[in-house]
Structure 1
């Protein structure tokens, strides 16, 4: 591994949001309290959905809330693994925040596109307004005069090649927030044979309307393309330099790959920047999923140049001079909501339901209680998780207490068919590894490996459960209170990624319970030594 590869894995500014934070979209808002940038990411089957981060400098991001943060606001109970909430876009029209997103395989509405609004990005956000339209990846462009344009992508009805898509544009009614009027198809790919022209965004710059999109699918061939026109309705001309950013030319041995799905923003000093997704791999396994990276952008001959002078994601993208705000009045609730929504527990998420439906979190204590339920192979596991952010790291949780008959512990989850757990219960500490997509019949069964437990262990006991990760290998650790720590041998976790299991997410780690009834109390769910 080269020094640059090592730095990209461990020691660089990029990614600016490490871990499972894909499909970034960003907008800038100037107010009395200075300039803020707001960022949103996809969350797929996890709730609360669509985290909102804010930043002064595009590098340091603070979680302030979630768009879909209450029961009944959205139904993801029927979505499959890596289904649910795809590719949100966030914009500000001068008065309110607008956020559009795709729900894939949902409940009452099935698959569809919707828009929500808020005056404060920390929330509350409105209930969804559903769009009557086909396709995915909706976006909104705000004209200087307030005119709104809706756009998105879908599979072409009469494709010239397999998986050819088309980008459409329609006016968006500023009152009803529903697309209206005639539809115009403006794009079908920068290259003949290019698949999935997706994640489209339209924006203004010096008299042109620019289309920014991703092509080539979300894997190794992912790439960013640009086109421009005099009007949102086209005709659009592709950049002669397309694709403007990709890592597919670096080969499969590159430390960072799958670069694409970008959004552009201008800083107050006139510099331009893009946020995009990419993955850091270990032995070609993208355990962390798709992460958010920052890229400097310059303009030459009327076209954006991504990562000028480098042509690939930089280790350290630099920055711009941040003007200090003179007051703090624009988003009066953001500071308060940032504290109350995250508390000491950080960005905790759950599968297909809100954590509050089965987990009691308290801001005045580090402890939280999880009602017993399904294990990680279930559709709604009793699992409160955070995103894994490092490839050489330790994740842990402290088990404080548990009901008799309840297995409780720590899990690494990619999907219902790919997970590893370390649990305590029934007088034993147990490792469970499940690879439901393994090529042989015997490997599809759940493998249970007991760890030798201290003699005093009966039913459940208190202590720390941990996984020490080194790439695609992990060591399970049980550190009982008042006892001797027990360590496993190396556990293969290479199946916890898209390469082996498909899908679009990254590994999450969290506290879990399994049993017909009862509960467990935990604390100190965290990553790091």
Structure 2
């Protein structure tokens, strides 16, 4: 299926950088709600919680991590990895791994909240829980934690295993012995990740991922009678992957599934995957929906197709497949290693922002707030005025990491007869290079149009509109950068003091070949 088939489709159900999805269902006063959480790595607020009635249309209700965790020392694509959300009948529980961070506040932890919107508790750390990608099985009045790690005895490089251990429901401490219940679904399988256990009838089922988070990513399954038994692997593994479609597939990296049963008795899975345009995955890993079924008490994903499809349907009267024209306005602001409120203050109209100037995009804590890029072919616009005073640069950044980014920024005039500059800068592997300039731009609108790996930077001011640069942005691809995040776009300011910006907007191009 080609790239255009996925433009404007229902799948992904959470577009943009929303990897490692985990989902649970909560029945509230006769209504069923689905709740979903995804990884955020170095961005804050962390671990967005979305809810839905049909698994297709999602609304943001809050974030799990705000100010409970110190993000000092978190590197690019470090931070919050692979959360799992569950509900025990009284409260929500989320387990997650913090990669990096200060001593004593890193590794695996659990938090709880009475409502999905929060407030969420301070973390209870599990230093004895090795590995990562933790999950929880609520089995009656008992809770079983489980996670993935590399085996001590590596029969082959990257061989993984899944461990299980009980959790005290009151203290949330790990108790009792640890059991290793699973060791790679197939011989030679590597990087066991994202394990989840489910009680269904007489069996406890295991769903996990293998093959790494790239092109060989896959979903594997097994089953046992008890959570602590050794799981028998499914002979049909892997039960879902796109690796057999080749490198030219429009959707790749399929894996990391979490299951949920709908009130109508149907089963569904959320998985991560990446859309490719021109061979690059600027958006990173997104959340897709896929139908699940059971045959002879073994899981079948994507029955009848074996792959993800643009229109997966849903367990209830779903949406008509249409998407809002401007989904950027549904996205919250995020910032790097700190909360957006430390950087930006919205004006009363909610459109203009007062941005506190500081360090540039290469800094560990840039003066930047952004929103996820939501479509691989998009136009992003921002209204700017030339900086004054101690602000030396203000502009729009398309950010993959502190070493991979693209900016279009205004710099102040050096004299009263100088109108300043619009400068386009491309940073590859930590080396920034100015690729184009426009003299005397004044105030206006900077526009970056992205079509796969190509970006066109233009400026619209008092004298009209003109193209400033054509730039290759393949370096912002998650695959190329070797990171885990997708592209985030937004305003930044360098220097000290404050500067105003207006109307960050992004509009998807449903037909990428048409301007």
TM-score, normalised via structure 2 length: 0.92
Which runs of no fewer than 5 residues in structure 1 stay unpaired? Answer: 324-341, 437-443
Query: What does residue range 87-486 of structure 1 map to in structure 2 within 5 Å?
Result: 87-109=82-104, 111-132=106-127, 133-143=129-139, 145-321=140-316, 346-362=331-347, 364-399=349-384, 402-404=387-389, 405-426=391-412, 427-436=420-429, 445-454=431-440, 457=441, 461-480=442-461, 482-486=462-466
CA drift of 1:464 comes to: 1.6
Q: Residues 396 and 489 of structure 2 are in contact (CA less than 8 Å); yes or no, is this contact kept in structure 1?
A: yes
- The answer to whether the Cα contact below 8 Å between 1:406 and 1:518 also exists between their aligned partners in 2 is no
**What are the Cα deviations for residues 110-137 of structure 1, in whole angstroms up to 9, with x where unaligned?**
5310111111101111111111221111
Looking at structure 1, the residues matched to 105 and 190 of structure 2 have their Cα atoms a distance apart, in angstroms, of 25
RMSD of aligned alpha carbons: 1.8
Preserved contact between residue 77 and residue 353 of structure 1 (Cα < 8 Å): no
- Shift of the 293–86 alpha-carbon distance from structure 1 to 2, 3 Å rule, reads same
Decide whether the 8 Å contact of 2:113 with 2:120 is kept in 1.
yes
Does the 8 A contact of 2:196 with 2:208 survive in 1? yes
- With over 3 angstroms needed to count, the CA separation of the structure-2 counterparts of 1:398 and 1:415, relative to structure 1, is same
1:363–1:62 Cα change, 3 Å: farther
202 and 279 in structure 1: CA distance in 2 versus 1, 3 angstrom threshold: same
Deviation, structure 1 residue 108: 4.2
8 Å CA contact 1:344–1:366 kept in 2: the answer is no
The 8 Å contact of residues 386 and 411 in structure 2, kept in 1 or not, is answered as: no
- CA shift digits 1:261-295 (9 cap, x unpaired): 01000001000000000001123211110000000
2:82–2:133 CA contact under 8 A, matched in 1: yes
Indicate whether 1:10 and 2:3 are aligned. no
Residues 134 and 287 of structure 1: CA distance in aligned 2, closer, same or farther (over 3 Å): same
Shift of 1:362: 4.9
Match of 2:35 in 1: 38
Q: Is the CA contact (8 Å cut-off) linking 1:8 and 1:256 kept in structure 2?
A: no
Per-residue deviation, 1:364? 4.6
Q: 1:498 aligns with which of 478, 491, 513?
A: 478
Count of residue pairs the alignment pairs up: 491
Structure 1 stretches of 4+ with a deviation exceeding 4 A read 342-345
Contact 1:402–1:519, Cα closer than 8 Å, also in 2: no
User: CA 1:468/1:33 → structure 2, altered by over 3 Å: closer, same or farther?
Assistant: farther
**C-alpha deviation, 1:33, in angstroms:** 5.9
Question: How far has the Cα of 1:447 moved from its partner?
Answer: 1.1
Q: Give the gaps of 5 or more residues in structure 2.
A: 319-326, 413-419, 509-515
Q: Is the 8 A contact 1:406 1:520 kept in 2?
A: no
Q: Is the 8 A contact 1:406 1:519 kept in 2?
A: no
What displacement does 1:89 show? 0.1
1:507 and 1:8 mapped to 2: Cα distance? 22
Q: Is the 8 A contact 2:164 2:228 kept in 1?
A: yes
Contact 2:387 2:410 in 1 (8 A): no
